[in-house]
Amino acid sequence: MKDSHTLGVVGCALPDRESWARPSNTLDLHLWLRLLTCSTLVENRVRSLMRSQFETTLPRFDLMAQLADAPRGLKMSELSRRMMVTNGNITGITDQLERDSLVERVKVDTDRRSCIIRLTAKGRQSFRSMANAYQNWVGESFQKMPLERRQLLFELLGELKAAGLADQTPPGSA
Site string for its own copies, 14-53 (x = CB under 8 A): xxxx-xx-x--xxxxxxxx-xxxxxxxxxxxx-xxx----
CA-to-CA separations, 54 to 49, 89, 134, in angstroms, rounded: 8, 21, 11
C-alpha 88/C-alpha 80 separation (Å) is: 9
Interface residue with its own copies among 54, 57, 62, 120 (CB under 8 A) is 62
Give yes or no for a contact between 104 and 120, defined as CB atoms under 8 angstroms apart.
yes
- Could you say whether residue 166 binds its own copies (CB under 8 A)? yes
Give the number of residues in contact with its own copies, rule: CB under 8 A: 81
User: In this complex, which beta carbon is closest to its own copies, that of residue 107 or of residue 145?
Assistant: 145
Q: Which stretch binds its own copies (CB under 8 A): 91-99, 101-109, 116-124, 140-148?
A: 140-148
Smallest gap from Cβ 139 to its own copies, in A, equals 5
- Could you say whether residue 173 binds its own copies (CB under 8 A)? yes
Give yes or no for a contact between 66 and 47, defined as CB atoms under 8 angstroms apart.
no
**Contacting its own copies within 144-163 (CB under 8 A):** 144-145, 147, 149-163
DSSP letter (8 states) at residue 103: E
- 49: CB partners within 8 A, 6+ apart: 133, 137
- 21: CB partners within 8 A, 6+ apart: 29, 30, 33
**Contacting its own copies within 73-132 (CB under 8 A):** 78, 81-84
Smallest gap from Cβ 112 to its own copies, in A, equals 26
Sheet containing 74-75: order of strands? 74-75, 111-119, 103-108
